[in-house]
């Protein structure tokens, strides 16, 4: 029979890696062997709370309270339940009581800090989070909560340091990586973010999230060749349609159209009901000036996409415009705009269609809309200005 301390250690390891089914199997077996194992009941409640199963947690808390009324550990979990319900006054009351009985419990202090922060009592939140960290300096959750408190105090650099400490405590703490990536993107320091994830992969090469982030970061830099190996890793690991599709896109954008074509054809063979691979094949064929083949694949993509994406309709309009079929082009561009009113390309192309068809007044109207949609993109704004001047 497993002892309570070992049970908590095993379930905590399961929770850390998101293996909730394994944890629940272990807890069910433990309670069958020993129905009076209070730790197993507590871990069941924790499992429900971690999975945001609030109703189940409430039921489990009630069942445990009927057997063990006023146990401070149970009251502490009730406090977390209040947090999940965003009933912060109730959380504060439960956690402050539990902290008096169990003053050395770092998690109670951590959750009390969260309740205080949400109640706007930043001074109390900082006091409790510092107590939590003094009791358990290796808690990634406490360091992350401290970073949120420091952000509210305007101490940005100190907050970032705490996020980095949370990652140092637990390389699998995805929330910390997401936060630090967001900060580095705001600073436009993609290279630092890339180095962060490369270091993470060296330490934990089994985390798909790291590979996905590196692929996205290199994509944002426009370095598709560098993004490709990370996308390929995910495709080999997950065997999913969309991972294969991304490999095809990066391969195409890296300049290898032949291999990209082969990948997209395999995607269609795998699942012909999805529109994406047809659209990307259309892109390849249009680049190769195989207009009829491109049109066929864009049309297939448009048939499958319904109103989920404007791009197939925009490209069908581009082909129609190249053949001086202004009516058909305008219809396609209008369809694209109805799907996504904020897409620059179909609005600009509508202005171009009006110019070629001799509708000078409409050119100005669509051109002005395109100029606004161009935002901070200088090259797009230049193209719009050039079009308006020549109209």
What confidence tens digit (pLDDT) does each residue in 154-167 have? 999 999 999 999 99
Per DSSP, the three-state class of 359 is coil
- The sign of the dihedral angle between the CA atoms of 326, 330, 336, 340 is positive
Question: CB under 8 Å to 192, separation ≥6 — which residues?
Answer: 184
Positions of the chain with pLDDT lower than 70, given as ranges? 1-2
pLDDT attached to residue 63: 82
pLDDT attached to residue 251: 98
Query: d(Cα 144, Cα 134) in Å, to the nearest integer?
Result: 15
Taking the mean position of all CA atoms in its chain, how far away is CA 166? 19
Give the global pTM: 0.82
pLDDT attached to residue 179: 96
pLDDT attached to residue 1: 59
pLDDT attached to residue 321: 97
Q: What are phi and psi of 372, to 5 degrees?
A: -65, -45
pLDDT attached to residue 162: 98
pLDDT attached to residue 120: 97
């Amino acid at each position: 029979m497993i002892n309570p301390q070992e049970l908590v250690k095993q379930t905590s390891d399961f929770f850390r890696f998101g293996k909730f089914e394994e944890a629940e199997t272990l807890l069910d077996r433990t309670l069958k062997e020993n129905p009076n194992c209070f730790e197993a009941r507590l871990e069941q409640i924790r499992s429900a709370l971690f999975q945001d199963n609030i109703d189940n947690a409430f039921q489990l808390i009630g069942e445990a309270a009927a057997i063990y009324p006023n146990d401070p550990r149970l009251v502490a979990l009730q406090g977390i339940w209040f947090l999940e319900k965003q009933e912060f006054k109730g959380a504060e009351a439960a956690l402050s009581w539990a902290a008096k009985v169990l003053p050395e419990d770092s998690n109670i202090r951590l959750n009390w800090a969260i309740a205080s922060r949400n109640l706007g009592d930043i001074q109390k939140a900082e006091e409790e989070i510092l107590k939590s960290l003094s009791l358990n300096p290796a808690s990634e959750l406490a360091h992350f909560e401290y970073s949120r408190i420091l952000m509210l105090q305007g101490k940005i650099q100190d907050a970032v340091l705490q996020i980095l400490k949370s990652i140092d405590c637990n390389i699998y703490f995805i929330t910390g990586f997401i936060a630090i990536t967001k900060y580095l993107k705001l600073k436009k320091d993609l290279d630092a973010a890339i180095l962060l994830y490369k270091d993470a992969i060296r330490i934990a090469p089994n985390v798909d999230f790291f590979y996905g982030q590196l692929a996205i970061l290199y994509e944002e830099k426009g370095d598709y060749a560098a993004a490709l190996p990370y996308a390929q890793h995910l495709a080999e690991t997950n065997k999913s349609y969309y991972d294969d599709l991304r490999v095809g896109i990066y391969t195409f954008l890296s300049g290898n159209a032949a291999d990209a074509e082969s990948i997209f054809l395999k995607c269609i063979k795998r699942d012909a009901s999805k529109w994406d691979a047809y659209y990307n094949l259309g892109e390849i064929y249009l680049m190769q000036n195989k207009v009829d083949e491109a049109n066929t694949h864009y049309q297939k993509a448009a048939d499958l996409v319904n109103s989920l994406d404007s791009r197939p309709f925009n490209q069908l309009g581009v082909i129609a415009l190249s053949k001086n079929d202004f009516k058909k082009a305008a219809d396609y561009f209008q369809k694209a705009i109805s799907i996504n009113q904020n897409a620059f390309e179909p609005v600009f192309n509508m202005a171009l269609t009006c110019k070629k068809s001799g509708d000078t007044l409409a050119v100005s109207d669509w051109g002005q809309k395109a100029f606004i949609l161009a935002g901070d993109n200088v090259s797009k704004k230049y193209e719009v200005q050039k079009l308006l001047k020549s109209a």
